[in-house]
Amino acid sequence: MNADLAEDMVTEVQDDCIDFALVRYFSPHPSAYERDTGLRPICPGPLRLNHCLWKFSESPRFRRSMCNRDGTPSRSFVEQGHIFGNTQTKRDEIFEKEKCAYFGLLSPKSVERTVHMTPEFVDDTMLLSDTWLETVTLM
């Protein structure tokens, strides 16, 4: 098994197992037009003092685990549809939001720091939006 791994990963194998962190990538939110010294997108308005504004990154390609090459739901997605919602409308909504989601697998050793992130709410609802706030300074 170890012969199939990159050289720098062989040392991470413990008892024939290896750990990975599944990560989802973020991009600067389009309404965040300023950057801080770390090049993070500063939140506009009163939260600009200690928050950055992000949105989920999108891959230029469809996720093969969910989609056929033409972008339609794959057989696997259809067969496991119950995971994505109780109604076809909800499953279709989730499919559209997730079909180009940009994920990656990282070695936990490559994680340099963690951040404090929370999704915003859609105005006047209890629904979560696709916009995320990063709290830069915790008090």
In a domain, 13, yes or no: no
Say if residue 33 is in the same domain as residue 94. no
Say if residue 49 is in the same domain as residue 110. yes
Task: Output Rg (C-alpha) for the chain, integer angstroms.
Answer: 19
In a domain, 77, yes or no: yes
Q: How confident is the model at residue 23 (pLDDT cuts 50, 70, 90)?
A: very high
Say if residue 66 is in the same domain as residue 93. yes
Say if residue 52 is in the same domain as residue 83. no
Q: How confident is the model at residue 63 (pLDDT cuts 50, 70, 90)?
A: very high
Say if residue 83 is in the same domain as residue 136. no
Pairing of β 21-24 and β 103-106: antiparallel
Q: Who has greater pLDDT, 67 or 12?
A: 67
In a domain, 26, yes or no: yes
* Residue 101 burial (CB count, 10 A): 15
For residue 133, the SS3 value is strand
In a domain, 115, yes or no: yes
Query: So what's the pLDDT on residue 135?
Result: 94
Say if residue 94 is in the same domain as residue 83. yes
Cα–Cα distance between 72 and 118 in angstroms, integer? 30
Does 1 have pLDDT greater than 60?
no
In a domain, 37, yes or no: yes
Query: So what's the pLDDT on residue 138?
Result: 64
The secondary structure element, H or E, covering residue 128 is strand 128-135
What is the per-residue pLDDT across 110-128, written as a single tens digit (0 to 9) for each? Answer: 889 889 999 999 989 998 8
The secondary structure element, H or E, covering residue 98 is helix 88-98
Structural domain range at position 84: 59-100
* Closest C-alpha to 136, from 35, 27, 4, 19: 35
Among 2-6, 63-67, 103-107, 120-124, name the one with the lowest average pLDDT: 2-6
In a domain, 106, yes or no: yes
